[in-house]
Structure 1
Amino acid sequence: MRSQRREDEITTKELMHILYATQPNFRSYQPNSRYDYDHGIDCDEVYPNIFIGDENAARSKIFLRRNGITHVVNMAQGKLLGMVDTDQEFYKNTNIKYMGVCLMDLPVTNISVYFERVADFIENGIKNGGKVLVHCVMGVSRSSTSVLAYLMLKERLSACEALSKIRKIRDIRPNDGFLFQLAQLDNKLKRERMRGIFL
């Protein structure tokens, strides 16, 4: 028998409503140079020292250096279509620390198994005075989902708060399956934090 949803629990539908009701303030990221514009770099600083960007941002060492990026998270590592074929070797002549996660942008993909690990990597980068770029191919689904999870896990934002905050800055669109997993994380964190109050 299915358990009934508690009134304070968030649903995927509610997150989808926030996603489509909140319009980004175009354009928060202004290319720093003709180089950025010519190379089609699409990247935004969505939270202090955290950037969400596309493949072009991640591949441009000039862009990364100019923006002081010290850590890169590739949420689409791989050689297949819809993936970005970079790794630590790609950044060998830089001081960039790299983390790669091989995930397809599909509603059935279980991205939640990486939430904690990616959040820890982002947190460590920022704590050491660095700046973190989280990217996938277009910087709208896999990468944004990971940053949203970071904000929920480490900054204690609710899924609604995190989604609204990031969506105002960047045109993110996590797929429905990822939104479902963010809703699950939100409800789990709420339950854990409520238990902590009463212990």
Structure 2
Amino acid sequence: MNLEMFNQIASITDHLYLSSAAAVNPDRIRTIGITHIINVTMEIRNLNMPTVQSIQLHVEDAPHARLSVYFDRAADKIHQVHKRGGRTLVHCVAGVSRSASLCIAYLMKYHRLNLAEAYYHVKKRRYVIRPNAGFWQQLIDFEQKLFGRASVKMIQSSIGWIPDVYKEESRNMVWFPSRRY
């Protein structure tokens, strides 16, 4: 895996950006013209810049975490910022699961992409994204609420339950249960 990707700020749309926390620094934020940041971490403090509004959503990167309670709130905020001519950066620790899920939810709600289309759109711009199985189930439920149907389904695999969009890349993976000593 190319570790440089974790320092990338990926442009999802002309006003929505996705990154890891490591990529967030004042110079880059100014250069891109970010006006708002959504920080989806438990442990990383908001960037303190007078010209940037930040909100923090305290969500664990765990399948049991309730990220879906923020889907509408985050999507609405991104949309409002865009309508006022601003730009939003969404980040979590790695820019892989929590923040990617919120970007996908936004694309579903405001760009009317189905879940599969939204996932592939974000993945094309930041190929390291991989929302966890719990977030996938929440995204499937959100798609069901928005459109009355689901374009992605959870399937059983050799590594446990995964969304069907992971089927090919997970084909040769093997699950090793963790051992406690």
Tell me the TM-score normalized by structure 2. 0.75
**Secondary structure, counterpart of 1:143 in structure 2:** helix
Question: Residue in 1 aligned with 2:67?
Answer: 111
- Which has the larger Rg? 1
Per-residue CA deviation, residues 122-178 of structure 1 (Å, 9 max, x unaligned), is 111111111110000010100000010011111111101101111111121100100
Q: Is the aligned partner of 1:160 residue 2:116?
A: yes
C-alpha displacement of 1:94: 2.3
Contact map agreement 1:57 1:64 (CA 8 A) in 2: no
Contact map agreement 1:51 1:133 (CA 8 A) in 2: yes
Q: Is the aligned partner of 1:144 residue 2:109?
A: no
Distance 2:9 2:108 in 1: 21
Letter matched to residue 64 of structure 1: I
C-alpha displacement of 1:85: 2.1
Query: What are the residue-to-residue correspondences of 1:39-188 with 2, within 5 Å?
Result: 41-58=7-24, 60-76=25-41, 78=42, 83-86=43-46, 90-91=47-48, 93-171=49-127, 172-188=129-145
**Secondary structure, counterpart of 1:187 in structure 2:** helix
C-alpha displacement of 1:191: 2.3
**Secondary structure, counterpart of 1:47 in structure 2:** coil
Distance 1:85 1:104 in 2: 14
C-alpha displacement of 1:42: 2.3
Distance 1:65 1:94 in 2: 11
Distance 2:56 2:31 in 1: 22
Across the two proteins, how many residue pairs are aligned to each other? 145
Stretches of structure 1 that go unaligned for 5 or more consecutive residues are: 1-25, 27-36, 193-199
Q: Where is the strand percentage greater, Structure 1 or Structure 2?
A: 2
Distance 2:54 2:76 in 1: 13
Root-mean-square deviation over aligned CA pairs: 1.8
Tell me the TM-score normalized by structure 1. 0.69
Distance 1:159 1:95 in 2: 33
Distance 2:17 2:139 in 1: 19
Q: Which runs of 4+ in 1 moved over 2 A?
A: none
Letter matched to residue 73 of structure 1: I
Stretches of structure 2 that go unaligned for 5 or more consecutive residues are: 150-181
Amino-acid identity (%): 34
Distance 1:98 1:119 in 2: 15
Letter matched to residue 130 of structure 1: G
